[in-house]
Amino acid sequence: MPPIKRTKFKLTPEQLLEMFYWLKLIRAFDERLSILVRQGKVRSGVYTGIGQEAIVVGTCFGLRRDDFVCPLHRDLGSFLMKGVEPRVMMSQMFAKTTGLSKGRDSALHSGDNQLGIFGNTSMLGANLPVAAGIALTFKMEKVDHVVVAYFGEGASNVGDFHEALNFAGVQQLPIIFVCENNQYAYSVPIEKSMAIDDVADRAHSYGFDGVAINGNDVLAVYQASLGAIGRARKGDGPTLIECKTYRWHGHSEHDKAFYRTDEELAMWKSRDPIPTFTTYLQSRHVLDAQKEKDVDARIASTIDEAVEFAMNAPEPDAQEAVTDLYA
């Protein structure tokens, strides 16, 4: 199989600033959620993606509304980038009626078909055959929409992952498998669950390309995604993009992550995707101190408004617990 060619791209200063905005908004959203959990105000399981934001931003930036994402527990940012308003997303975390699932689920199992977001279940890897099914629908309908399906390196050891990749390869489906390799599956380090270094290599067994990239470099993720999305739209089949990254918090907010060292965390924090991109934008004269202050102020007021809205929103009525459910 010839290696995939490097994709050329050019982003305008406005687009680069938009990427910067998304990185910071998603970080701020997760950071506020973490505080709300500690304050006892949000009681659902919260799985932050702090440190991993470049993956969601780089993969979603080139998507259209009619494309689908299949997010996992750590991909709250993809909901926002696909068009869910921050106040609706915050309501979801508070399990209020104004959230996506109207208070019937407290975390990230909800979706929105109109915005192209498929609600995931708790079974890891189980979103991948479903994502392949959505991609099969697009192929059968002869439309050029694509699916972006997220999973952790832990989930890549589950049978569903292999079935989905095999089916996608055989059918040449318009799907991009995005592995968020954050080095741990709960407390299990990657070397205790896989005998190979790169999840990306698994794609080759199923007849398509897999690439391992720096998942903390938003432009690298965007570049790899743009190429994969373009090939998928043209009917050239799937791609697996493995994004090497690290989650700064524990598996969820109740996990103190004693299984890793302070030095390891500090090393990865030095690779924080946000300052790296900030420095890049400053060196290209796209960002100055005033613009950065404006972005920060906009984000702070968006998050404050979302929390205020969610906290004041009505609680669900117990009678509504089974409406909208299939029996």
Ligand X SMILES: Cc1ncc(C[n+]2csc(CCOP(=O)(O)OP(=O)(O)O)c2C)c(N)n1
Give Cβ neighbours of residue 214 (< 8 Å, ≥ 6 apart). 220, 243, 244
- Which of 152, 215, 227, 316 binds ligand X (CB under 6 A)? It is 152
Number of H helices, E strands in the chain: 10, 7
Which one of the spans 112-120, 138-146, 150-158, 255-263 is the region binding ligand X (CB under 6 A)? 150-158
Residue nearest to ligand X (CB): 152
Of residues 175 and 185, the one with the C-beta less far from ligand X = 185
- Choose, by CB under 6 A, the member of 32, 74, 87, 139 that binds ligand X: 74
Which residue, 56 or 155, is less far from ligand X as judged by CB? Answer: 155
Which residues does residue 243 pair with via DSSP β-bridges, in sequence order? 180, 213
Residues of span 225-284 touching ligand X by CB under 6 A: 251
Task: Using the minimum distance from each CB to ligand X, give the nearer residue, 58 or 154.
Answer: 154
Q: What is the DSSP string of 181-214?
A: E-SEETTEEGGGT-SSS-GGGGGGGGTSEEEEEE
Residues 129/149, Cβ–Cβ less than 8 Å:
no
Quick check: 66 and 105 in contact, CB under 8 A? no
Count of residues interacting with ligand X (CB under 6 A): 16
- State the nearest-atom distance from the C-beta of 247 to ligand X, in Å: 6
Q: Can you tell me which of 155, 165, 218, 307 binds ligand X, judged by CB under 6 A?
A: 155
Interface pick for ligand X out of 153, 209, 253, 272 (rule CB under 6 A) = 153
Q: Report whether 316 contacts 97 (CB < 8 A).
A: yes
Residue 106-125 contact track with ligand X, rule CB under 6 A, x = bound: ----------------xxxx
247: three-class secondary structure by DSSP: coil
Q: Does the footprint of ligand X cover residue 50 (CB under 6 A)?
A: no
Question: 118 and 134 in contact (C-beta within 8 Å)?
Answer: yes
For residues 315 and 98, the answer to whether their CB atoms sit within 8 Å is no
Q: Does 154 bind ligand X (CB under 6 A)?
A: yes
Applying the rule CB under 6 A, the residues between 177 and 216 that interact with ligand X are: 180, 182, 184-186
For 251, list phi and psi in degrees, rounded to 5.
-55, -50
Q: Which residues contact ligand X (rule: CB under 6 A)? A: 74, 122-125, 152-155, 158, 180, 182, 184-186, 251
